[in-house]
C-alpha cells in the first residue's frame, strides 16, 4: 500500500456531478469542460465530480475518462487557491467490469490528477454487502489516491448494510461514500455508522429529492446531477440547513424537486436532459450523449424549456 504524503481531503459542501460535454463527433469538448468546472466553482461549489454516472463515465473509453480528468484538473488549477479561499476538490468516477480493470482505472485517473476516486463496483451481478466491502477494501489498499465508495443500489442492485460502513470507514484510504439511494433511513444509519471515524469519513448524498433531510441528518455534503443547472440553489439549501432556516430550506428543496421532476418528464436519461438544458442556456454548444445513450430529440426541447422555468 502506498503511504499518503499528506492527509486525505475532507468531503464537504456541494460538488456537482458534471455532465460530459461532447462534440457532434462524440469526442470530448475540452474547452466546455473548463467552462463547466469554472462555472461550478463560481457558483459556490467546493469541487466537482467528473466521469460519474451523470458524466456518462461508464460509456466513455478508459482513456477518455483520464483525458476528461486531466482537463478538469487543469481547469481547477487555473483558478488558483485564491479564487475561493481554498483548493477545490476534483473527484473522478472510476469503473470497470472487472476488478483488475477497476484497479487500472483508479491508477489511471489518479495519475491524471484526481484528488479522490469515486469507485463504482462492477454491476453485472448483484453483490452482497460483504462482497462490496471486500471489493472496496481491495481497491483502496492498492490505490495511490484516496477513494470514495459509490452506493447506488437502484442501478447496481447491490446494497451496503450500515454495519459495513463502519468497516469501510476504518480504512485510511477510504475517506467517504456517495449514497445516491432514495432510502433516507438507511442513509441516516450510514451517517451514524460513519460517526465513529471522527470526521475522517464523510457521507455525501447524490439524491436531490432528499437533500434537505440528508443534510439535517448530518451528511457532510452533496454530489448532485441537478447542480449542473441549479448549483446556486443547492448551495443556498446547504446554507439554509446550516442556519436552521426551516422555511427557506423547505422552499429551496421544493424548487429543486420541481425542476428535477420537470426534467424527468422529458422522457430521456437525466444526463441527456441536463445537456439539453445547458445547451438551451448557452453554456455548452452540443447536447449529444455517448452512444448507446440517446440525446433529447428536437420535439422534446420545449419540455426542457418548461422545466427550466421552475
pLDDT score, position 200: 86
DSSP E strand boundaries for 114-199: 116-119, 147-151, 174-179
Phi-psi label, residue 244: left if phi above 0, alpha if psi -120 to 50, beta otherwise: left
Q: Given this model, what pLDDT does residue 82 score?
A: 47
Cell of 266: 422529458
Q: What CATH class has 13-231? A: alpha beta
Residues near 80 by Cβ (< 8 Å), separated by ≥ 6?
Answer: none
Residue 2: what pLDDT? Answer: 43
What pLDDT score does 118 carry? 98
Q: What is the pLDDT along the chain (310 residues), one digit of tens a residue?
A: 444 456 677 789 999 999 999 999 999 999 999 999 999 999 999 999 999 999 999 999 999 999 999 999 999 998 865 454 567 999 999 999 999 999 999 999 999 999 999 999 998 999 999 999 999 999 999 999 999 999 999 999 999 999 999 999 999 999 999 999 999 999 999 999 998 877 789 999 999 999 999 999 999 999 999 999 999 999 999 999 999 999 999 999 999 999 999 999 999 999 999 999 999 999 999 999 999 999 999 999 999 999 999 7
DSSP string, 61-106: -HHHHHHHHHHHHHHHHHH-GGGTSSPPEEEEEE--SSHHHHHHHH
| Residue 177 bridge partners (DSSP) | 149, 203
Q: What is this structure's pTM?
A: 0.94
- The CA distances from residue 168 to 132, 148, 161, 201, 299, in Å, are 10, 10, 11, 9, 47
- Residue-level pLDDT at 1: 43
Residue 198: what pLDDT? Answer: 79
Residue 138 CA: distances (Å) to CA of 45, 99, 269: 31, 9, 32
In the structure grid, which three cell numbers stand for residue 79, read together? 483558478
Domain spans, the chain:
13-231
Amino acid at each position: 500500500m502506498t503511504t499518503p504524503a499528506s492527509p486525505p481531503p475532507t468531503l464537504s459542501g456541494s460538488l456537482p456531478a458534471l455532465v460530459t460535454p461532447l462534440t457532434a463527433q462524440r469526442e470530448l469538448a475540452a474547452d466546455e469542460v473548463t467552462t463547466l468546472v469554472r462555472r461550478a466553482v463560481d457558483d459556490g461549489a467546493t469541487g466537482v465530480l467528473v466521469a460519474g454516472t451523470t458524466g456518462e463515465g461508464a460509456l466513455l473509453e478508459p482513456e477518455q475518462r483520464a483525458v476528461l480528468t486531466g482537463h478538469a484538473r487543469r481547469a481547477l488549477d487555473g483558478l488558483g487557491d485564491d479564487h475561493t479561499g481554498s483548493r477545490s476538490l476534483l473527484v473522478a468516477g472510476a469503473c470497470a467490469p472487472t476488478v483488475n480493470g477497476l484497479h487500472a482505472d483508479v491508477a489511471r485517473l489518479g495519475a491524471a490528477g484526481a484528488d479522490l476516486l469515486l469507485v463504482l463496483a462492477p454491476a453485472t451481478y448483484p453483490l452482497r454487502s460483504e462482497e462490496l466491502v471486500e471489493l472496496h477494501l481491495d481497491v483502496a489498499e492498492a490505490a495511490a489516491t484516496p477513494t470514495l465508495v459509490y452506493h447506488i443500489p437502484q442501478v447496481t442492485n447491490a446494497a451496503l448494510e450500515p454495519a459495513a460502513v463502519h468497516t469501510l470507514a476504518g480504512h485510511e484510504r477510504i475517506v467517504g461514500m456517495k449514497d445516491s439511494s432514495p432510502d433516507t433511513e438507511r442513509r441516516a444509519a450510514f451517517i451514524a455508522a460513519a460517526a465513529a471515524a471522527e470526521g475522517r469519513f464523510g457521507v455525501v448524498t447524490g439524491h436531490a429529492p432528499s437533500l434537505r433531510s440528508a443534510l439535517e441528518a448530518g451528511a457532510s455534503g452533496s454530489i448532485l446531477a441537478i447542480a449542473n443547472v441549479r448549483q446556486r440553489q443547492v448551495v443556498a439549501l446547504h446554507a439554509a440547513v446550516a442556519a436552521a432556516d426551516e422555511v427557506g430550506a423547505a422552499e429551496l428543496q421544493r424548487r429543486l424537486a420541481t425542476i428535477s421532476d420537470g426534467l424527468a418528464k422529458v422522457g430521456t436519461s437525466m444526463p441527456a436532459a441536463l445537456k439539453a438544458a445547458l445547451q438551451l442556456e448557452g453554456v455548452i454548444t452540443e447536447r449529444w450523449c455517448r452512444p448507446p445513450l440517446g440525446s433529447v430529440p428536437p420535439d422534446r426541447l420545449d419540455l426542457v424549456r418548461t422545466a427550466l422555468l421552475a
